[in-house]
């Protein structure tokens, strides 16, 4: 779950077409964390560098930004994705892999989950944290150019990651592309609080506490840089429209986190 600060602008043969940069028990990322970054545009490289710097405090930051609700949100995402034992799923902007691990528990040892992130440090930490989940693998990758053929997964998820993309609509199209017909794309993103005091309290609390957490760890400037980048997540209704424009059908959403975040789901069309 690649958390970004809330802003007001706010195992089978089907997966053999891409070789992961980091598998369980293989420390390729640790040996050469920059090896897979060649060819990235400067904006993408900057996002990866920011998340590399924040990686040591990332899980703490996630907990603060969610006001302790992140576990519930991960459960809601997995339930909404509709995956079953033996299925294949991809989690994009996976961070240290907490959401990917819940997906892996759901698909079981005969399923497959791929966790994709731009940050070598996130991939390295996620791999180290989930070595016991043989059905989960981490890889470096760009959300706008996922290294998989069409319709490879039963579901795709992204949580607090759309705001880091230079082209949000293209990212949604890419998620739809790699999901089989009838499979689901699930997004969890911050949104403008609806006109209720609870949502405003959530945003204000998270904004005040998160900078304090990273400041204590000496990473306040990285957090500020990230906050400047993450400005393009629209409100919940607009994001739903963008999902439809990306080719998804049966699009819907519901609010979580006192109305300050929205869980969206869309289905890859059949036929």
Query: What is the reported pLDDT for 173?
Result: 98
Is a pLDDT exceeding 50 seen at residue 68? Answer: yes
pLDDT of 185 reads 98
Tell me the C-alpha distance between 256 and 70, whole Å. 10
Domains and CATH numbers, the chain: 13-267 (3.40.50.150)
Give the Cα separation of 132 and 69 in Å (integer). 25
Q: Tell me the average pLDDT across 110-127.
A: 96
Q: How far is Cα of residue 84 from the mean position of the Cα atoms in its chain?
A: 20
Residues 40-49, mean pLDDT to the nearest whole number: 71
**Predicted pLDDT at 53:** 83
Average pLDDT for residues 23-44, to the nearest whole number?
40
Residue 28 tokens read as 């390729």
Q: Name the pLDDT band for 44 (thresholds 50, 70, 90).
A: confident
Q: Average model confidence (pLDDT) for the chain?
A: 78
Cβ neighbors of 218 (< 8 A, separation 6 or more) are: none
Give the mean model confidence (pLDDT) for residues 6-34: 35
Pick 197 or 151 by higher pLDDT: 151
What pLDDT does 51 receive? Answer: 80
Asked whether residue 41 carries a pLDDT value surpassing 50, the answer given is yes
Judged against a pLDDT cut of 60, whether residue 69 lies above it is answered with yes
Residue 229: pLDDT band (50, 70, 90) is low
Q: What is the pLDDT of residue 216?
A: 43
DSSP calls for 49-72 = HHHHHHGGGHHHHHHHHTTT-HHH
State the Cα–Cα distance between residues 97 and 115, nearest whole angstrom: 7
Q: Burial letters for 144-170: b for 16+ Cβ neighbours within 10 Å, e otherwise?
A: bebbbeebbbbbbbbbbbbbbbeebee
Measure the CA angle with vertex 98, ends 208 and 141; round to 5°: 100
pTM beyond 0.75: the answer is yes
């Amino acid at each position: 779950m690649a958390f970004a600060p809330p802003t007001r602008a706010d195992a089978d043969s089907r997966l053999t077409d891409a070789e992961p940069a980091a598998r369980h028990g293989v420390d390729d990322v640790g040996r050469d964390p920059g090896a897979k970054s060649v060819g990235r545009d400067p904006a993408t490289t900057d996002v990866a560098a920011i998340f590399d710097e924040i990686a040591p405090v990332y899980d703490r930051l996630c907990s603060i930004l969610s006001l302790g609700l992140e576990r519930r949100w991960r459960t809601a995402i997995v339930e909404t994705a509709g995956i079953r034992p033996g299925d294949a799923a991809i989690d994009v902007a996976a961070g240290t892999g907490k959401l990917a691990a819940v997906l892996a528990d759901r698909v079981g040892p005969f399923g497959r989950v791929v966790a994709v992130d731009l940050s070598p440090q996130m991939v390295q930490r996620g791999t180290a944290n989930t070595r016991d989940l043989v059905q989960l693998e981490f890889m470096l990758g760009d959300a706008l150019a996922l290294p998989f053929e069409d319709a490879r997964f039963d579901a795709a998820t992204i949580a607090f990651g759309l705001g880091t993309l230079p082209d949000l609509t293209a990212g949604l199209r890419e998620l739809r592309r790699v999901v089989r017909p009838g499979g689901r794309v699930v997004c969890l993103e911050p949104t403008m609080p609806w006109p209720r005091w609870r949502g405003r309290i959530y945003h204000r609390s998270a904004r005040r506490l998160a900078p304090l957490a990273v400041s204590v760890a000496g990473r306040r400037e990285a957090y500020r840089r990230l906050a400047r980048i993450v400005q393009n997540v629209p409100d919940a209704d607009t994001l739903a429209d963008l999902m439809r424009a990306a080719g998804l059908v049966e699009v819907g959403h519901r609010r979580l986190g006192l109305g300050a975040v929205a869980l969206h789901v869309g289905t890859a069309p059949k036929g």
